């Protein structure tokens, strides 16, 4: 991380015009309609979406769904330009802090497997719907 870059994690408005282009990174070629539908799903009271900000720039989003004892990561995305600077790790630290005692779950692909594994998640492989390898990752607090 560059010394001058102060990253703030805080809630992000669902009306934020920057949100579609950032959440897009966690969705794999979605249509504009699908992106708006997904953003709209965060209006549900059991859903939470937070953003990472450097000054006025939105440099990442994390969206989760919460049940009584489980937090499921639905979307986590950091634009390429800001990856490998610790922002994803800050998001995971934030949810571990906010939801102490909850199990955290995520489903991911091979590209992001190391991110979860390095963060202490236990991941097991399964066959995705398109014959691709997917991973169910779990962090027990």
Ligand X SMILES: CC(C)(COP(=O)(O)OP(=O)(O)OC[C@H]1O[C@@H](n2cnc3c(N)ncnc32)[C@H](O)[C@@H]1OP(=O)(O)O)[C@@H](O)C(=O)NCCC(=O)NCCS
Burial class (CB in 10 A: 0-12, 13-18, 19+), 26: buried
CB-nearer residue toward ligand X: 20 or 25: 25
Selected binder of ligand X within 21, 114, 128, 140 (CB under 6 A): 114
- Residue closer to ligand X (CB basis): 52 or 102: 52
* The binder of ligand X chosen from 50, 77, 102, 135 (CB under 6 A): 77
**What's the distance, CA 134 to chain centroid?**
16
Our finding on whether 89 is near ligand X (CB under 6 A) is: yes
Cα distances (Å, whole numbers) of residue 21 to 2, 29, 49, 96, 99: 24, 11, 15, 26, 27
CB of 14 to ligand X, least distance (A): 19
Total number of residues binding ligand X (CB under 6 A)? Answer: 19
User: Residues near 118 by Cβ (< 8 Å), separated by ≥ 6?
Assistant: none
What is the rounded end-to-end Cα distance, in angstroms, of the chain? 27
Binding mask 17-56 for ligand X (x = CB under 6 A): --------xx------------------------------
Residues that bind ligand X (CB under 6 A): 25-26, 76-78, 83-89, 106, 108, 111-112, 114-115, 118
């Amino acid at each position: 991380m560059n010394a001058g870059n102060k990253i703030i994690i805080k809630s992000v408005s669902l009306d934020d015009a920057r949100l579609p282009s950032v959440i897009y990174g966690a969705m794999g070629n979605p249509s504009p309609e699908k992106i708006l539908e997904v953003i709209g799903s965060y209006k549900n009271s059991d859903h939470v979406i937070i953003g990472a900000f450097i000054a006025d720039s939105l440099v990442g989003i994390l969206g989760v769904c919460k049940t009584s004892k489980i937090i499921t990561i639905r979307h986590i995305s950091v634009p390429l330009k800001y990856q490998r600077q610790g922002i994803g790790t800050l998001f995971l630290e934030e949810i571990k802090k906010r939801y102490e005692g909850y199990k955290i779950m995520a489903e991911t692909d091979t590209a992001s497997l190391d991110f979860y594994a390095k963060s202490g998640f236990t991941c097991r492989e399964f066959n995705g719907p398109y014959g691709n390898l997917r991973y169910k990752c779990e962090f027990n607090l």
